[in-house]
Amino acid sequence: MTTISLYNNKGGVAKTTTAITTASCLVQRGERVLLIDLDPQANASDAAGIEVEEDASLLLELLLASSGSTPLSLGQVETLLCPSPVIGCDVIPASPALDQFAEQAAQGTNLEFRLQTILAPLRSSYDYILIDCPPSLSLLTMNALAASDYVVIPCDSSKYALTGMSNLIAKYNTIRESYNPTLEIAGILNTKVEMRVQTSRLSREKLAAYFGDLLFTSYIPKSASVEKSQYANETLLTYDRHSPALTAYQSFTEELIQRVSTKKKQQTNH
């Protein structure tokens, strides 16, 4: 099982779109996928066709209960799983109630490792676990990064997404040192790209110059079908099979699988 967080503390850069579309592309390839929505905005849960509960969250209850001293049973964790009729994978949905996690857990122990404890019994059930993070380095995000093998950083072409990247990498390094020394950046995914627009081309050039091979070769073009598919409660796969954004997400998924398996092989050889 490979666990991948989709994270950028900048909002609106397509973390959720990437999480749901990549999940659907992995399912299309026959992979067993679990999508975890760790964002109290619950956009991924909504996109997955799951009714969001406003003030109750089984995930919040389990995060608060799993202080790490006793392992959880598969039965305890399975109660969190909801099948998504839209994506065709299992989902652990979010709720606005997740916002209370940091405050309610404040005096507890192992605060950053609660999600890792929850996921332990599910390790053999999935090939990929994708975690959609909130746009902040909250305790929820720390839990996602502590439980992940990899992080994918979606980054759009806006000036502030670009200028925020060095700060983001500094934070990633701190988290790696403090909570998860094996966490790796799988890559930076350039999203909402408009190659006809000069600033978009320039921003891609800057990302390539700064990140080199870490920048995925695949990039996601801006496409009206993305938002339309979300309004229609569908994935791009069912809404518009010919959308350039879908083709790009399919090649990104290939690239992601390749990168993750190459890195795994390198680790095994060491």
Q: Give which of ligand ATP, Mg ion, none residue 245 binds (C-beta under 5 to 8 Å, depending on kind).
A: ligand ATP
Q: Which of 68, 88, 121, 135 binds ligand ATP (CB under 6 A)?
A: 135
Long-range contacts of 161-165 (CB under 8 A, 24+ apart): 161/8, 161/10, 161/13, 162/203, 162/206, 162/207, 164/8, 164/9, 164/10, 165/207, 165/210
C-alpha distances in angstroms, 72 versus 105, 138, 170, 212, 262? Answer: 18, 24, 33, 41, 32
Q: In the 8-state DSSP scheme, what is residue 215?
A: B
Nearest to 235 by CA among 127, 91, 88: 88
Q: Give which of ligand ATP, Mg ion, none residue 218 binds (C-beta under 5 to 8 Å, depending on kind).
A: none
Q: Please say which residue, 13 or 118, places its beta carbon nearer to ligand ATP.
A: 13
For residues 270 and 249, give the distance between their C-alpha atoms in angstroms, rounded to a whole number.
32
Q: Please say which residue, 108 or 135, places its beta carbon nearer to ligand ATP.
A: 135
Q: Does 204 bind ligand ATP (CB under 6 A)?
A: no
Q: Does 244 bind ligand ATP (CB under 6 A)?
A: no
Task: Report in angstroms how near the CB of residue 267 gets to ligand ATP at its nearest.
Answer: 29
Q: Which of 3, 4, 13, 189 binds ligand ATP (CB under 6 A)?
A: 13
By CB under 6 A, the count of residues binding ligand ATP is 20
- Per-residue contact string for residues 224-243; x = within reach of ligand ATP by CB under 6 A: --xx--x-------------
Q: Does 17 bind ligand ATP (CB under 6 A)?
A: yes
Q: Which of 15, 192, 222, 259 binds Mg ion (CB under 5 A)?
A: 15
- What burial letters (b/e) apply to 187-211, b meaning 16+ CB within 10 Å? bbbbbbbeeeeeebeebbeebeeeb
Tell me how crowded residue 18 is: count the other CB atoms within 10 A of its CB.
23
- Per-residue contact string for residues 26-65; x = within reach of Mg ion by CB under 5 A: -----------------x----------------------
Q: Are the CB atoms for 163 and 20 separated by under 8 Å?
A: no
Unique residue bearing structure tokens 């995060």: 63
Unique residue bearing structure tokens 């039965």: 75
Task: Report in angstroms how near the CB of residue 136 gets to ligand ATP at its nearest.
Answer: 9
Q: Please say which residue, 121 or 135, places its beta carbon nearer to ligand ATP.
A: 135
Q: Which two tokens stand for residue 164?
A: 């925020």
Binding residues for Mg ion, rule: CB under 5 A, are 15-16, 43
Binding residues for ligand ATP, rule: CB under 6 A, are 11-17, 39, 41, 43, 135, 191-192, 220, 222-223, 226-227, 230, 245
